[in-house]
């Protein structure tokens, strides 16, 4: 987000030169530069044997299931965001976050950091912000996530990671969506 006014004192920002960044909005009173940075968010694929944890949150996609996701809180390392969001949304305890790459969502200025984690313990306890959550077969996940392009590409990486060879996994049985 490009700042025009200082969020602390409300004063109009000036432009200050920063070596690599060029002109950056700057508050001379608070001596702070407001860099145009994206909001970091995590997308997490929780894997237990040949199952993956999928959620239904209609405000994200009406007809598709999604992976666990959430914003990185200030003061927290990203690996802890991963563990926290899974626990908060599903009640499950997970371990060994493995980074799978990032995606930039320009419409919302979000940088999505994607991870795969292993199930450790606990039963599903659905949070109020989630409509539905349950284990799905890894090979059915791509189909159930029809509209979620980023989620599907994360699942493809998960399939590769677990050494899934079955080509059927990359196609919908009823052909209702293109993968
Ligand atoms: Zn200020």
**CA 13 to ligand 1 center in whole angstroms:** 8
C-alpha dihedral sign at 109, 60, 42, 67:
negative
* Predicted pLDDT of residue 61: 87
Q: What is the pLDDT of residues 1-40, one digit of tens each?
A: 789 999 999 999 999 998 887 899 999 999 999 998 999 9
* Predicted pLDDT of residue 63: 86
Structure tokens at 17: 């030169």
Q: Which residues are catalytic?
A: 129
**CA 5 to ligand 1 center in whole angstroms:** 8
**Structural domains for the chain:** 1-37 (2.20.70), 39-165 (3.90.79.10)
- Residue numbers of the chain with a pLDDT score lower than 50: 169, 178-179
Structure tokens at 6: 């200082």
- 26 strand-pairing partners: 14, 33
**CA 40 to ligand 1 center in whole angstroms:** 24
* Predicted pLDDT of residue 6: 96
* Predicted pLDDT of residue 179: 45
* Predicted pLDDT of residue 170: 54
**Phi/psi of residue 139, nearest 5 degrees:** -75, -15
| Helix or strand (DSSP H, E) at 132 | strand 132-137
Residue 43 Ramachandran class (φ > 0 left, ψ -120 to 50 alpha, else beta): beta
């Amino acid at each position: 987000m490009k700042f025009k006014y200082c969020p602390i004192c409300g004063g109009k920002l000036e432009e200050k030169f920063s070596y690599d960044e060029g002109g950056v909005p700057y508050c001379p009173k608070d001596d702070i530069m407001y860099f145009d940075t994206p909001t970091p968010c995590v997308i997490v694929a929780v894997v237990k044997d040949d199952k993956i944890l999928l959620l239904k949150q209609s405000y994200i996609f009406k007809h598709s299931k999604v992976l666990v996701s959430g914003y990185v809180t200030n003061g927290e390392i990203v690996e802890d965001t991963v563990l926290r969001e899974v626990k908060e949304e599903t009640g499950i305890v997970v371990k060994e976050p493995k980074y799978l790459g990032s995606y930039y969502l320009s419409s919302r200025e979000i940088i999505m950091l994607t991870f795969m984690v292993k199930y450790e313990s606990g039963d599903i306890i659905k949070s109020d912000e989630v409509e539905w959550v349950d284990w799905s077969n890894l090979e059915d996940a791509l189909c159930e996530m029809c509209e979620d392009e980023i989620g599907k590409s994360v699942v493809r990486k998960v399939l590769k990671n677990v050494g899934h060879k079955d080509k059927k996994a990359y196609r919908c049985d009823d052909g209702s969506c293109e993968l």
